[in-house]
């Protein structure tokens, strides 16, 4: 046929763009890293029955690695990935439906075409045998995309692994076009304009370059070169790059960044015969490229801080509230409270739920329990499931017999790890605790054996301290390892934490 009709493609992409939020990965957040240098990352996204979401990461190499996202709860999905504390960790998401791919494109630190195709972001596979041309070079199998500060990169992979621009000798009878098509979908329907990185060679007519394709058709009358491209075949993948300025400075392109910071992208192959009749050969699955990424720089983990702790008894319910602040902006892997009773069989552990997801700020956690007959409530947070911040709330009774559920205790030790000694501190936040007269710290080894007891007398509201010199009952220094210390008040366990003796 004389023209390749592209208008329907433009309309389809625009409708898909309008129906799909380009930023479908909301509240992206990460925990701290654990001793295995693994980190949990979470986000809210669309029901996985509608699409499949993947997590891609890169830290100490140029190759991207993929992990599946798994359901955590409701519309929250998570995965655990190897975190590097010596390199910048680049993270991005890719979601695929039957008809469309939505993804964060791969970022390249430099402008030259990469020497590894996997440096680019994989978009989608394309089935073989669906090509309208008999030439296997026209049959697309995979498509890729990436960007640097100055360049856009497109990748086309075909069945043959070769990318001829014509066939026939000595006089060519067919010419071949490999196109990485780009669309600003917020302006495309106004002017029916798309842009393409074109790899081709028809003497006196079309050379490889950056082209504007107007009017929704692709023929000799509708294309205009607006810039040059670079191209190389890397790992059997045709990679092309263009200057971003050549594209976005075109008068018909529209604003960039646009409102959604996104572009439409699709790979197309075309065949042109000796009579200059253009014919479509193959098209890849279209994609929406959203230009953002989640960057995690190396950091030293800090223990979260808890404040504004409140436990209120309202009718037959207990309402728990606590403010969480993490100096690294990490979300907690553990956020829960344990309700203790005189009968341990009635004890219950329930999660505390955040009211917001911006962990660069203070986040309030709340829980409501249908229970008022408890002895104490242990609130526990950890951003790595290894270092815990714990606060115990006691049920305090006034002289009139009224219950006041706001007596909090914090427990910690410093330094940790330690050698040869550490200071164990606990703090009362409510003056009602002055009624207590007996307190002690019990030390347990990894076998659960009590090896030391440190009695505390004449303690007051505020910070109280006791020093453990890393010794047992006999005064002998214990071996390196993890030890548990418990705060015992009036014969009841009030709080516990772990410490590490490292010689």
- Domain check: are 140 and 274 in the same one? yes
> At residue 157, does pLDDT exceed 60?
yes
Please say if the pLDDT value at position 316 is more than 90: no
Q: Nearest 10 degrees: CA dihedral of 456, 457, 458, 461?
A: 30
262 lies in the same domain as 328: no
Rounded to whole angstroms, the Cα distance separating 255 from 251 reads: 9
Across 45-192, the runs of DSSP E, i.e. the strands, are: 52-58, 65-68, 70-73, 76-82, 89-96, 101-103, 106-107, 121-125, 140-147, 151-158, 166-167, 174-183
In a shared domain, residues 251 and 149: yes
Tokens standing for residue 111? 């402008």
Least confident range from 41-45, 132-136, 389-393: namely 389-393
Last residue within a domain, chosen from 232, 267, 295: 295
In a domain, 183, yes or no: yes
Does 401 reside within a domain?
yes
The residues that bridge with 44 in the sheet, in sequence order, are: 26, 76
Among candidate residues 295, 314, 334, the one where a domain is terminated: 295
* pLDDT value for 459: 59
Instruction: Tell me: do 353 and 232 sit in the same domain.
Output: no
Closest to 373 (Cα-Cα) out of 416, 437, 294, 313: 313
Do both 273 and 309 map to the same domain? Answer: no
Q: What's 148's DSSP letter?
A: -
Tell me whether residue 470 is in a domain. yes
Instruction: Report yes or no on 11 lying in a domain.
Output: yes
SS3 content of the chain, % helix, strand, coil (to 5): 5, 55, 40
Task: Name the pLDDT band for 380 (thresholds 50, 70, 90).
Answer: very high
Could you tell me which residues are beta bridge partners of residue 101? 96, 287
d(CA 276, CA 278): 6
Where do we find the tokens 């979908």? 185
Q: Looking at the structure, do residues 133 and 276 belong to the same domain, yes or no?
A: yes
Q: Which residues pair with 501 in a beta bridge?
A: 418, 481
Lowest mean pLDDT among 47-51, 59-63, 208-212, 421-425: 47-51
37 shares its domain with 74: yes
For the record, the structure tokens of 390 come out as 């714990």
Q: Which residues contact 392 (CB under 8 A, 6 or more apart)?
A: 376, 377, 378, 379, 408, 409, 411, 494, 495
User: Based on the structure, what is the number of domains in the chain?
Assistant: 2
pLDDT at position 401 is: 41
Residue 254 sits in the same domain as residue 374: no
Alpha helices, DSSP H, located in 26-111: none
Question: Is 93 within 8 Å of 103 (Cβ atoms)?
Answer: yes
The lowest-confidence range among 2-11, 174-183, 291-300, 370-379 is 2-11
Q: Confirm if 409 and 427 have CB atoms less than 8 A apart.
A: yes
Host domain of residue 45? 4-295
Is residue 144 within a helix (H) or strand (E), and if so which, with residue range? Answer: strand 140-147
Residue 100, domain member (yes or no): yes
Q: Is residue 430 part of a domain?
A: yes
Alpha helices in 80-227 (DSSP H): 188-191
Structural domain includes residue 300: no
Shared-domain flag, residues 279 and 311: no
Kindly provide the b/e burial profile for residues 297-334, where b requires at least 16 CB atoms within 10 angstroms of the residue's own CB.
Answer: eeeebebbebeebebebeeeebebbbebebebbbbbbb
**Predicted model pTM:** 0.77
Confidence class of residue 14 from pLDDT cuts 50, 70 and 90?
low
The Cα–Cα gap between 276 and 3 comes to: 10
376 in the same domain as 350: yes
State the distance between the two ends of the chain, measured CA to CA, in whole angstroms.
81
pLDDT at residue number 425: 84
- What share of the chain has pLDDT > 70, as a percent? 85
CATH number at residue 488: 2.60.40.4070
Q: Does 461 fall in a domain?
A: yes
Residues 291 and 309 placed together within one structural domain of the fold: no
For residues 200 and 314, state if they share a domain: no
**Looking at 295, 322, 352, which one is the last position of a domain?**
295
pLDDT for 214 equals: 79
Average pLDDT (253-280) is: 88
C-alpha to C-alpha distances, 353 to 250, 330, 337, 381, nearest whole angstrom: 49, 15, 11, 12
Sequence-distant (6+) residues with CB within 8 A of 14 are: 183, 185, 188, 189, 264
User: What is the structure's pLDDT at 22?
Assistant: 52
């Amino acid at each position: 046929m004389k023209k390749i009709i592209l208008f329907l493609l433009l309309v389809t992409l625009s409708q898909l763009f309008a129906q799909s939020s380009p930023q479908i990965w909301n509240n992206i957040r990460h925990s701290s890293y654990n001793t295995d240098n693994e980190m949990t990352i979470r986000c809210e996204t669309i029901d996985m029955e509608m699409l499949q979401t993947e997590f891609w990461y890169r830290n100490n190499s140029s190759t991207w690695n993929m992990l599946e996202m798994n359901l955590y709860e409701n519309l929250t999905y998570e995965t655990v990935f190897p975190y590097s504390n010596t390199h910048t960790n680049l993270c991005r998401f890719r979601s695929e439906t039957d008809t469309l791919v939505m993804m964060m494109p791969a970022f390249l630190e430099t402008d030259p075409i990469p020497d590894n195709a996997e440096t680019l972001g994989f978009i989608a596979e394309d089935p073989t045998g669906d090509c309208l041309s008999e030439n296997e070079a026209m049959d697309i199998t995979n498509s890729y995309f990436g960007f640097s500060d100055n360049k856009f990169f497109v990748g086309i992979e075909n069945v043959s692994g070769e990318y001829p621009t014509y066939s026939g000798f000595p006089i060519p009878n067919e010419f071949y076009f490999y196109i990485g098509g780009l669309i600003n979908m917020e302006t495309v329907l106004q002017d029916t304009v798309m842009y393409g990185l074109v790899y081709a060679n028809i003497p006196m007519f079309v050379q490889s370059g950056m082209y504007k394709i107007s009017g929704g058709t692709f023929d000799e009358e509708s294309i205009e070169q607006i810039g040059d491209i670079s191209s190389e075949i890397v790992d059997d993948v045709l990679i092309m790059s263009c200057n971003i300025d050549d594209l976005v400075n075109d008068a018909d392109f529209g604003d960039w960044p646009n409102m959604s910071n996104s572009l439409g992208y699709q790979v197309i192959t075309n065949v042109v015969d000796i009579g200059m009749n253009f014919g479509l050969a193959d098209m890849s699955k279209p994609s929406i490229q959203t230009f953002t990424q989640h960057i995690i720089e190396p950091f030293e983990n800090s223990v979260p801080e808890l404040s504004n702790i409140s436990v209120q008894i309202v009718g037959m319910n207990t309402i728990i509230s606590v403010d969480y602040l993490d100096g690294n902006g990490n979300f907690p892997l553990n956020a829960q409270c344990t309700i203790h009773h005189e009968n341990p069989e009635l004890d219950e552990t329930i999660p505390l739920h955040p009211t917001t997801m911006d962990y660069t700020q203070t986040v309030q956690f709340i829980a409501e329990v249908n229970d008022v007959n408890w002895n104490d409530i242990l609130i526990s947070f950890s951003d790595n499931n290894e270092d815990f911040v714990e606060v115990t709330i006691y049920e305090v009774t006034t002289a009139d017999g009224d219950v006041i559920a706001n007596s909090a205790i914090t427990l910690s030790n410093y330094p940790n790890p330690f050698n040869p000694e550490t200071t164990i501190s606990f703090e009362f936040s409510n003056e009602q605790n002055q009624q207590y007269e007996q307190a002690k710290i019990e030390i347990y080894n990894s076998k659960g054996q009590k090896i030391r007891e440190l009695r505390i007398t004449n303690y007051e509201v505020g910070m109280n301290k006791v020093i453990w010199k890393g010794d047992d009952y006999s005064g002998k220094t214990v071996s390196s390892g993890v030890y548990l210390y418990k705060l015992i008040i009036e014969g009841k366990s009030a709080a516990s934490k772990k410490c590490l003796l490292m010689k």
